[in-house]
Amino acid sequence: MIKVITYGTYDLLHYGHIRLLERAKALGDYLIVGITSDDYDKTRGKINNQQSLIERIAAVKASGIADEIIVEEYEGQKIDDIRRYDVDIFTVGSDWEGRFDYLNEYCKVIYLPRTEGVSSSDIRAEKRKLVIGTIGEGNLCRKFVREMHYVNGVEYKECDESFEDVDAVYIAAHPKKHYEDVKRALEAGKHAICESPIALSSAQCQNLMRLAREKGLILADAIKTAYSTAYSRLLVIAKSGCIGEIVSVDSVCTSLEDGAGEKDADLSRKQNSICAWGPTAMLPIFQLLGTNYKFKSIVTKIIDKNLNYDAFTKIDFVFEKAVASAKIAKAAKAEGELVITGTKGYIYVPAPWWKTDYFEVRFENAAENKRYFYQLDGEGIRYEIVAFAKAVESGKQSMYIEETISSAIIGVIETFNKGEFDEI
Ligand code: CTP
């Protein structure tokens, strides 16, 4: 019996795939089809699949051509599979010509001519594109637009404050302006994705969320960390109980980049530390411990009283069964790490934890420690855009940052803005 194996993503199964599978099958007696897992695709830079692994498997299965379907999960797996299944022929389309010649050592390699004029990317792109405009600060907007190029199904268009000709808008202005900007966008019937905080009071935040709901629009909080794979994995690992009960979450976010601490710095157009870093630093605290803290205290070092500009701020929370702290600064520097303390062990995320691709689960017995690596492209912004576009398409708010979390973060910033803190 001649065994043939082929691999692919098979997103939105099309005529080109079917022809490839039929010809692959005709090369032998038994066809194994390897379908890439969502995680493996992410590591290959394919972040845009429209269908989940289960849906893609179901489609290939329904074609009736494959005798066996397996999942491709890691780099180098092809060699393992060829040996394990005793494969005689490896085949893929000619778009991969030469790339798998190294497999000749294990079996025969055949490249089949690719069917012209059809691809999953084209089908994804044919769907109506989500046109996104930007308003606000140049640097952040430029980064966002650059990252949009990596996402199928979205397109950038310049827009002014009337938001004409766009379906959605990315907002990265001064936090003082966010509420008005988001409100205007929603009132104009546009979906919005706004840098955090999206407003400066809980009441304003709830207004915006209500408005979005009433209008059937998506309003997303743009904390890029929330969308990175390593961060979302560490949340579920922490919640799975492997470090026991969580008793403390301590996060540190600092940056000195815009000279806020210098004597004659013009701070009027800059974000203070709590707005710039508070949302990111508080995110894991509320996502892991919930938002029902019993008590909080804020200690801060203010540089400019009129502007309420803090050089350094430390926020401490007491929950029923845990404590947490967020240390943030734009005019002080510390190790930007995240530590989640549990009764059996802890999770350590090295600096800068908010854009990490790596973390460790550590125990008393270091031999039990585990290390986790994940791909991170575009600091998470790329994944944030994918999640936003998916939310718009499905009409469901994305689950990455729940409304209660955005609202709790803004509640703390509101307390700070009211001057309810101790000064050092
Ligand atoms: N294939 C083909 N002809 C096409 C498209 C794909 O023969 N028009 C083959 C590929 O060469 C590969 C298999 O089908 O062997 C699965 O390809 P996959 O990457 O899943 O499909 P694409 O349509 O190329 O996807 P994308 O546009 O996302 O790259």
Are 201 and 228 a contacting pair, CB within 8 Å? no
31, 89 Cβ separation under 8 angstroms = no
Instruction: Please choose, from the candidates 317, 279, 293, the residue with its C-alpha nearest in 3D space to the C-alpha of residue 414.
Output: 279
SS3 assignment, position 106 = coil
* Spatial separation of the C-alpha atoms in residues 200 and 204, rounded to whole Å: 7
* Cβ atoms of residues 172 and 217 within 8 Å: no
- Does ligand 1 come within 6 angstroms of the Cβ of 284? no
Over residues 9-23, mean pLDDT: 97
**What SS3 state is found at 382?**
helix
Are the C-beta atoms of 20 and 93 separated by less than 8 Å?
A: yes
91 lines ligand 1 (CB under 6 A): no
**What is residue 46's three-state secondary structure?**
coil
pLDDT digits (tens, 9 = 90+) for 279-294: 999 999 999 999 999 9
Model pLDDT, residue 397: 83
Q: State if residue 20 touches ligand 1 by the CB under 6 angstroms criterion.
A: yes
Residue 123 parent element (H or E): helix 120-126
Instruction: Please state the atom number of ligand 1 nearest to the C-alpha of residue 123.
Output: 27
User: What is the pLDDT confidence band of residue 260, given thresholds at 50, 70 and 90?
Assistant: low
Average pLDDT over residues 338-364: 97
Radius of gyration over every alpha carbon of the chain, rounded to an integer in angstroms: 25
What is the atom index within ligand 1 of the atom nearest the CA of 19?
7
Residue 377: the pLDDT is 83
Q: Which two tokens stand for residue 336?
A: 């930007």
Question: Which residues neighbour 385 within 8 Å (Cβ) at sequence distance 6 or greater?
Answer: 144, 147, 148, 151, 154
Do the beta carbons of residue 89 and residue 108 sit within 8 Å? yes
Does the Cβ of 118 fall within 6 Å of ligand 1?
yes
**Range in 37-46, 168-177, 261-270 with the lowest mean pLDDT:** 261-270
**342 Cα: distance to centroid of ligand 1 (angstroms):** 46
pLDDT digits (tens, 9 = 90+) for 375-387: 888 788 999 999 9
pTM: 0.87
| pLDDT above 90 as % of the chain | 81
Prior bond of 352 cis (ω within 30°):
yes
Quick one: pLDDT band at residue 259, thresholds 50, 70, 90?
A: low
Q: Which residue has the tokens 């492209």?
A: 377
Query: How far, in Å, is the centroid of ligand 1 from the Cα of 106?
Result: 23
Residue 129 DSSP symbol: P
Q: Which residue has the tokens 């606000």?
A: 136
Is 95 close to ligand 1, i.e. is its CB under 6 Å away? yes
**pLDDT tens for residues 283-328?**
999 999 999 999 999 999 998 888 889 999 999 999 999 999 999 9
Strand, helix or coil for residue 281: helix
Q: How far apart are the first and last CA of the chain?
A: 79
Contact present, 352 and 252 (Cβ < 8 Å): no
- At position 302, the amino acid (one-letter code) is I
Residue partners of 60: CB distance under 8 A and separation at least 6: 10, 13, 17, 21, 33, 35, 66, 69
